[in-house]
Amino acid sequence: MRIFKFGGASVKDADGIKNVFSVLEKVGHEDTLLVISAMGKTTNALELVIKHYFEKSGELNSSLQDVRKYHNQILLDLFDDEEHDVFYAVNSHFADLEYFIRSNKSPNYNFVYDQVVSFGEIVSTTIVSHYFNHAGLKNNWIDVRNFIKTDATYRDAEVNWEKTQQLISKGVKKKALNITQGFLGSDENNFTTTLGREGSDYTAAIFAYCLNAESVTIWKDVPGVMNADPRVFENAILLNQISYREAIELAFYGATVIHPKTLQPLQKKEIPLHVKSFINPLLPGTSVSKGKDLEPQAPCYIVKRDQLLISLSSIDFSFIMEENISEIFALFHQYKMKVSLIQNSAISFSVSVEDKFGNFNELKAILSKKFKVSYNENVSLYTIRHFNKEAAEMVEKGKTVLLKQISRETMQIVTKE
Ligand code: ADP
Ligand code: ASP
Ligand code: MG
């Protein structure tokens, strides 16, 4: 079986969905499972709904109606007959969402978040599945929450591999065209969970692993993995073939074209990953597989914005060594700060972190009891893999460098723009 993942950009409007259909006509659709994300920026729009909900804002209803109208327009563009079943199916999902919002009693933000944002994927796959059936491409709509089981860490759930493996091997129809949602799972009590923002690539890898798939293809609005984000750096070049190792490094440092969790399950079973353009589906794109990096040895540039540079120094001039460091890391883990760079000296310790869950103030109060804490907000972390002198000069030019770290293959700088 092949696993195809289509992200938000590929299904952002009716033409996008028609294009996905034509991609399948070109590359085949037998024995294939499609993992599809929410349409366009729907997850962001639903995040706004959640914000209004918790702030008890008067804009709650209008933000919800915006999401509804956006999908309704896509339906009207795809289907001439407004009596088509898909209109009822989508309406019924929105009715469920509105019911949840009206009746929810849980004050747990992360729980509510997952119950609400999941409608993005549920609605998008409902529309795509009906449209394909309507256009003659018979397919099987699957609710991923019956297959991917996780713990109850809402917004960042951990997969229960054993249960997931059992359910997927038993329940996914082979030979057919299956359509399911990215990003979602469910916990022991069958409440919806999510795997972390941009997690649909990871969903594709989970299915591939459990089905021993022949390959995974993630279809993007770029020709493949490039040596830099073409939206940020001019003259980015396509990397034709890279190893799992190179891909995991690039993704970890922040090349958002592949979600970092995607690579590990694929690498374990040596399932090749293709990153291809949904605009030019017959071009080869990038292949990620075991072995040598045939390309590139060209420098690769990655930027992660919205980082927090935190420096801790001991109050009494004592060294920051093993014991302190492990305590500090336990706190970062507890407060879900994702660490992207570490540097330490005898009495000080600096990290660049991402505060995805808005926990820094709480953490700062705890750290301040033991350390002098200084920090810079909104800094950028630039990473150059396979750096050389020119590459380093180009990235540093015109920026205030707060911290720099160089290892054999990688140079990283934290800058204030
Ligand atoms: P999806 O629609 O699957 O969610 P994303 O928008 O998350 O797709 O990922 C595709 C985007 O990743 C591209 O539009 C591009 O701007 C960005 N990107 C970041 N780093 C790279 C890179 N090294 N190569 C290609 N694209 C990159
Ligand atoms: N829709 C989710 C998000 O925007 C998951 C994904 O697109 O991968 O984060
Ligand atoms: Mg995305």
* pLDDT value at 8 more than 70: yes
Given CATH 3.40.1160.10, say whether it is the number of domain 2-213. yes
CA nearest to 237, candidates 305, 286, 294, 291 = 286
Region 91-118: what's the mean pLDDT?
A: 98
Q: Which of 9-18, 172-181, 186-195, 308-317 has the lowest mean pLDDT?
A: 308-317
Counting residues of the chain whose pLDDT is more than 70, the rounded percentage is 99
CB 319, CB 347: distance < 8 Å: yes
DSSP, collapsed to helix, strand or coil, labels residue 82 as coil
Region 294-299: what's the mean pLDDT?
A: 70
Boundaries of every domain in the chain: 2-213, 300-416
Beta bridge partners of 156: none
Q: In 10 A of CB 379, how many CB atoms?
A: 21
Region 314-326: what's the mean pLDDT?
A: 79
Query: What tens digit of pLDDT does each residue of 342-378 get?
Result: 998 877 889 999 998 999 999 999 999 989 999 999 9
220 lines ligand 1 (CB under 6 A): yes
Q: Which of 58-62, 239-243, 345-349 has the lowest mean pLDDT?
A: 345-349
pLDDT value of position 294: 62
Q: Which residue has the higher pLDDT, 319 or 380?
A: 380
pLDDT value of position 295: 56
* pLDDT value at 335 more than 90: yes
Identify the nearest ligand to the CA of 203 by its number: 2
Q: How far is CA 89 from the centre of its chain?
A: 27
Q: How far is CA 159 from the centre of its chain?
A: 15
Relative to the CA of 196, which ligand 2 atom is closest?
A: 9
DSSP, collapsed to helix, strand or coil, labels residue 314 as strand
DSSP, collapsed to helix, strand or coil, labels residue 247 as helix
Mutate to test the pocket of ligand 1, among 37, 42, 203, 229 (most ligand atoms within 8 A of CB): 229
255 lines ligand 1 (CB under 6 A): yes
pLDDT value of position 296: 54
* pLDDT value at 410 more than 80: yes
Q: Which of 209-213, 218-222, 321-325, 333-337 has the lowest mean pLDDT?
A: 321-325
Contacts of 31 (CB under 8 A, 6+ apart): 1, 2, 174, 175, 176
Task: Please give all residues whose CB falls under 5 A of ion ligand 3, grouped by chain where several chains appear.
Answer: 7, 198
Average per-residue pLDDT for the chain? 95
CA of 90 to the centre of ligand 3 (A): 22
114 lines ligand 2 (CB under 6 A): no
Mutate to test the pocket of ligand 1, among 257, 279, 303 (most ligand atoms within 8 A of CB): 257
Q: Which of 34-48, 136-150, 297-311 has the lowest mean pLDDT?
A: 297-311
Right CATH number for 300-416 from 1.10.3720.10, 1.10.357.10, 3.40.50.11540, 3.30.2130.10?
Answer: 3.30.2130.10
* pLDDT value at 107 more than 90: yes
Relative to the CA of 203, which ligand 2 atom is closest?
A: 8
pLDDT value of position 274: 98
323 — pLDDT class (breaks 50, 70, 90): confident
* pLDDT value at 48 more than 70: yes
Query: What tens digit of pLDDT does each residue of 128-140 get?
Result: 999 999 999 999 9
Q: Which of 85-94, 113-122, 212-221, 310-319 has the lowest mean pLDDT?
A: 310-319
pLDDT value of position 291: 82
185 lines ligand 2 (CB under 6 A): no
Q: Which of 13-22, 145-154, 319-328, 396-405 has the lowest mean pLDDT?
A: 319-328
* pLDDT value at 151 more than 60: yes
321 — pLDDT class (breaks 50, 70, 90): confident
Q: Does an H or E element contain 83, and which?
A: none
CB 404, CB 412: distance < 8 Å: yes
CA of 110 to the centre of ligand 3 (A): 20
254 lines ligand 1 (CB under 6 A): no
